[in-house]
Each structure stands twice: as structure tokens, then as C-alpha cells.
Copies of this chain bind each other. A is one copy, B any other.
Amino acid sequence: FVKSVFGKDGMTSVRFAMVGGGGGAFIGPIHRMAAALSGNCELVAGAFSRDAHNSQATGVQLGLDPHRCHAGWETLLSDEAARPEGQRAQFVAIVAPNAVHAPAAIAAMEAGFDVLLEKPLADGLSAARAIAQAAQRTGRLVGVTHPYIAYPMALQARAMVAKGELGAVRRVAVSYIQGWLGASEDEGGKQAAWRLDPAQAGPAGAFGDIGSHAFNLVETLTGETIVRLSADLRATLEGRRLDDDGAALFALSGGGKGTLIASQVCAGEANGLSIAIWGEKASLHWAQQEPNALRLLSRGKPEQVWRAGSDQAWLEEAVRTGCRTPGGHPEGFIEAFANIYRDFSDTVAGRTVAMPAFAPIEAGLRCMAFVDAAIASSSADGRWHWVAVHNG
């Protein structure tokens, strides 16, 4: 019913289906809250769980037609594809475990659906490339959800760098610090278990889980690529097989340098993602835990603090429309996530989006290449490695 809480007049709501996100999941409800806030899309079908009962129950609780709630993405796709054009889902959001991403996404594209994927793109670089190739082959749109680039003030930072307000970027410091895996007694929970298991999480732990967000934030905000890095990863707690802590030095395509830290074993830290971008003429500081402020330090001028708000005339237009409320009404993580759904739905519907809040498939591929390069460098005593995305 809220398909247009935030919509523009005359705009048609975009229909989507969800793979994953059944009862007990964490990220599924976040996606649904985001879609609800987006104001321009509507969940119409789902394969929420391999467990038929769970999938039905989830869908019914969400008010869906029980006939559109399936136990597998295979039947979901065939059923939706068979429905009339004005009724069937226009895109598929995939929030299932990483191993499901590639088969489901590829099948969805082949069945004619655009795809929005929860990060990471896939459970390995080859699977990710297969998704990319399918996208190219089918011409379908693929988006990846990196919510931290979708905050209004992160979009503003990106615009300011792009417009040259910082001059050349000289140095970047990004860190993503958590503490929730800091002790052995933390290892029991559902969220922890799969992240600590190489079979489910892939080759990287903290660097894959949160380091990739930090990496993507750097590349998105600077508009440059990280071309080389020297990394030092480790499993801090005894018995762990994946990195839970690490750092890297890196070089940007424009000549700047940087540092990246990702850790999940730092006592007392919650979700401490922050970035500084230091330039020739000005510098920016932004911290996800206080997302509505962006500090601007300029050569020879007093410091400024730019704040989010639909009425803050000095913000980029695309940033202001990404704010649901005027200045002084804080927005947060769910609103940022909702910007992803809004922009992805608009793009699916053929509407132009100035500065999309979702990450393109290339960004998803680069995150995976980053993780591989970091592991390679760390295994080679810090030798610098190229962050390269090879096609095919």
C-alpha cells in the first residue's frame, strides 16, 4: 500500500520479487523496509526460503498473493515470467546466501528480469564474472547494494570531488571497525557462523564482509580506482581460518595514496565506518555513525559543516531529492538503503537518475578483485599487488 509514499505524481510503481529473506533473516527485512520507504516499488512475489512453509508464511504476512510465494527461485521465475506484462515482477532482489547469487541472478536475467543483488556480487570471482557476462549477454540491469554510498552526504561528497572542489586527491583514510567478533563466545550466532566458515563466506572474512564496503566507498567517492595495494590480514583469534582484522596501503589511479582498515575484533566498536579524503584545495571527513554531517576543510578558509536536508539549497539537487525531510530531521541507514531501491526502480522504469545510489556491477566485480589482491599481498609479506579486474 505504500508504493507511493514518496513518489512523484503519475509515476507507476515498479513491481519486484525477492529471493531469500524468509523468517529469521536479517537483511531481508531491511530490504523490505527500504522498499517500503522508497515510494516507487512494490513487492509482488517471492521465494523467501527453500522451506515451502516458511516462504508461504513470510509472503502471507507481507500481504502477498499465496500463489506468488514459492519454495525456490526456479518456480518463482517461471511463474512470474508467465504472468501478463502489467502484472509480473520487473526486477528480482536477491538476498539469499552468496552461493545462490550467480545461478539465481543469471537465470533471472535470462528470464527477462533485471536484478538487484545484496553485496557481495557472488561467492567468488568466477561466479561474479559469470553474472557480468550474463548481464552483457542479456542486456539486463544489475545493481549491487552498498548502502554506505547511498547516504545523502556520501553522495554530496562524491559530487564535490567530481566537481573538482578538492583539487587532486592526495590521500584517503578509510576504516571500518567493528567489535562483534572480538571474543570466542561471539562465534555462536547465526550471523557469525557463516562469516567464519570459508566454505560459506569465501576466501576472506572481515576484508570481504566490511573491507569491501570501505573499498567501494573510496572508489565511489573519489571517482578513481584503487590500482595497487599492500595488505596485511590476519585471523586474530585462535582457530579462525579467515581474516578478522587487517589493513592495507593503497594507490589511487589519480596518483593519491591511502590506507584502509577493516576489523571485527575491536572491543566496544559498533559499525564504525569513516572516511577522510584529503585534497590539494580542500578535504572531506565523513562518518557513517553521524551520517547527516559532512565536514569540509579548505585551504585558507574556516571549516564548514554541510548537513543533510531537502531544503539545504547549497547541496546538489540529486542529494536534496535523496533527503525525505528538511534540515534538522535526521535520516539514517534505512533511508540510505531506500535510496537504492528508489534509484534502481527508477532506472528499471526507464527514468534517468543523476547519481544512482546503487552500485553498478563493475563495482561488485572490483570489490571481489580487491579482496583477492589483498589476500595475495598479505600472503606475500606485503608485496604490492595490482587490483585488476580481468574480463572473461
Residues of A within 8 A of B (CB): 1-7, 9-11, 13, 23, 29-30, 32-33, 35-37, 39, 42-44, 57, 61-64, 166-167, 170-171, 173, 175, 177-179, 182-183, 230, 232, 234, 236, 245-249, 257-259, 261, 263, 265-272, 276, 278-283, 288-292, 296-307, 309, 312-314, 324-335, 381-384
- Which 6 A-B residue pairings sit nearest by Cβ, starting from the closest? A271-B328, A268-B297, A270-B328, A266-B278, A2-B36, A330-B332
Does A62 contact B299, Cβ atoms closer than 8 Å? no
Asked whether A331 lies within 8 Å of B333 as measured between CB atoms, the reply is yes
Please indicate the chain B residues that have their CB under 8 angstroms from the CB of A42 in the complex.
1, 63
Bound together, the chains give a CA A248 to CA B261 distance in angstroms of 12
Q: How far is the CA of A299 from the CA of B185 in the complex (A)?
A: 12
Q: Is the CB of A267 within 8 A of B7?
A: no
A290 to B39, CA, bound (A): 26
A160 to B137, CA, bound (A): 60
Given contacts A330-B290, A332-B329, contact A278 B283 (CB under 8 A): no
What number of copies of this chain does the assembly contain? 4
16 A-B pairs in the complex with CB atoms less than 8 angstroms apart: A1-B3, A1-B43, A2-B35, A7-B61, A249-B382, A259-B259, A266-B278, A267-B279, A270-B328, A271-B328, A300-B313, A301-B314, A302-B304, A302-B305, A302-B312, A382-B384
Q: Is the CB of A33 within 8 A of B4?
A: no
CA distance A295 to B325 in the complex (A): 24
Interface residue SS majority, chain A = loop
Closest beta carbon of chain B to A382's beta carbon, Å: 4
Beyond A5-B32, A270-B326, A302-B314, list 16 extra A-B contacts (CB 8 Å): A2-B32, A2-B33, A33-B39, A37-B37, A171-B263, A171-B265, A183-B280, A245-B257, A267-B278, A267-B279, A267-B297, A267-B299, A331-B333, A332-B335, A382-B382, A382-B384
Minimum C-beta distance from A383 to chain B (A): 7
Q: In the complex, A234→B22 CA distance in Å? A: 51
Query: Do A334 and B333 touch across chains, with their CB atoms under 8 A apart?
Result: no
Contacts of A297 in B (CB 8 A): 179, 267-269
Min CB distance, A189 to chain B, in Å?
A: 10
In the complex, how many angstroms separate the beta carbon of A160 from the nearest chain B beta carbon?
11
Q: Check if B333 sits within 8 Å of A298, measured CB to CB.
A: no
| Contact, CB under 8 Å: B9 / A268 | no
Is the Cβ of A306 less than 8 Å from the Cβ of B302?
yes
Task: Select the residue from A3, A7, A258, A298 with max chain B CB neighbours within 10 A.
Answer: A3
Chain B residues near A278 (CB, 8 Å)? 177, 179, 263, 265-267, 269
Say yes or no: B314 contacts A307, CB within 8 Å: no
Collect the chain B residues with CB atoms within 8 Å of residue A5's CB.
29, 32-33, 36, 62
By the criterion CB–CB under 8 Å, are A257 and B280 in contact? no
Contact A37 B44 (CB under 8 A): no
Q: Within 8 Å CB of A33, what residues of B?
A: 2, 5-6, 36-37, 39, 324
Q: Which of B3, B247, B383 contacts A62 (CB 8 A)?
A: B3
User: Which residues of the partner chain B approach A296 to less than 8 Å between Cβ atoms?
Assistant: 268, 302
For A9, list chain B residues within 8 Å (CB): 23, 57, 61
CA gap between A389 and B55 in the complex, in Å: 53
Q: How far is the CA of A30 from the CA of B13 in the complex (A)?
A: 19
A2 touching B183, Cβ below 8 Å: no
* Smallest CB gap from A314: residue in B: B302
How far is A14 from B167 in the complex, measured between Cα atoms in Å?
A: 50
B283 contacts A267, CB within 8 Å?
Answer: yes
Q: Given the complex of chains A and B, what is the CA–CA distance between A331 and B266 in angstroms?
A: 23
Residue of B nearest to A336 (CB): B330
